[in-house]
Copies of this chain bind each other. A is one copy, B any other.
Amino acid sequence: MANQPVPVVTAFDWVPEFAKGLVRDLRVRWAFEELGEPYAVEKFGAANPRPDGYVNWQPFEQVPAFREDGVEIFESGAILLYLAEKHGALLPKRDNARWRAISWLFAGLNSVEPSCMRYFAYTVFNPGKEWTEGATEAVVPLLRQKLRRVSDALGDGEWLAGEFSIADIMMVTVLNSLKDTGFVAEFPALAAYHARATSRPAYQRALAAQLADFDGPPPEGRG
């Protein structure tokens, strides 16, 4: 252990209020907390400079990026997969269940999150514009359909792939973006799932760690 460098995750030192608890390094922190493994945070923003050449590490200059033993990874889904493979945890062992979990990992990112993000982009970033209401009305049925399908797939099961896995870390943090919109509550199985996941001690520790790291000043002109 003494010679092993601690893996590094990037995060922001400040975000506006609406983004607290939603920045995607939460997913990686949560996985580390479930694994009981240490990690270091390299944070940047107004108070801390962006790491040199960050664009070569994270081509979109977002967070999280990840580094361990010379392996650099970006995209929260890829980092979760790496951690699960490396530690032989947070993924079922049997082939069919393992690939079910990996399927759901991708589904969180590509079948569910885009509708959530459209809703978020309209209502949080573009409230009250002349096109917002029409665009929002157009995406809500799609969003509800995606949520219903996840809820139906869960049924009375506890987790998406039988046991708790990186698929659940992904799906639950995707659902977080819907916050207090009431959409998740429309689907009792989904709401119970979300509550079950976010009450896990590892989630609570990860969330507290993300929030504690927002200790930088706002950029000029922001409050």
Query: B-contacting residues of A (Cβ < 8 Å)?
Result: 55, 59-62, 70-78, 81-82, 95-96, 99-100, 102-103, 105-107, 109-111, 113-114, 117-118, 121-122, 126, 129-135, 138, 146, 149-150, 152-153
Contact = CB atoms under 8 A, between A and B. Distances in A.
B107 A106 contact: no
Nearest to A146: B60
A96 B78 CA distance: 12
Q: How many copies does the complex hold?
A: 2
24 contacts: A60-B107, A60-B146, A61-B149, A62-B111, A71-B96, A71-B99, A72-B100, A73-B99, A74-B103, A74-B107, A75-B106, A75-B107, A77-B106, A77-B109, A78-B99, A110-B110, A114-B114, A114-B117, A118-B118, A122-B135, A130-B131, A130-B134, A134-B135, A135-B135
A82 B76 CA distance: 19
Given A59-B149, A114-B117, A131-B135, 8 more contacts: A55-B149, A59-B152, A71-B95, A75-B103, A81-B102, A113-B114, A122-B135, A126-B138
A75 B111 contact: yes
Nearest to A70: B96
Contacts of A100: 72-73
Given A99-B73, A99-B78, A59 B153 contact: yes
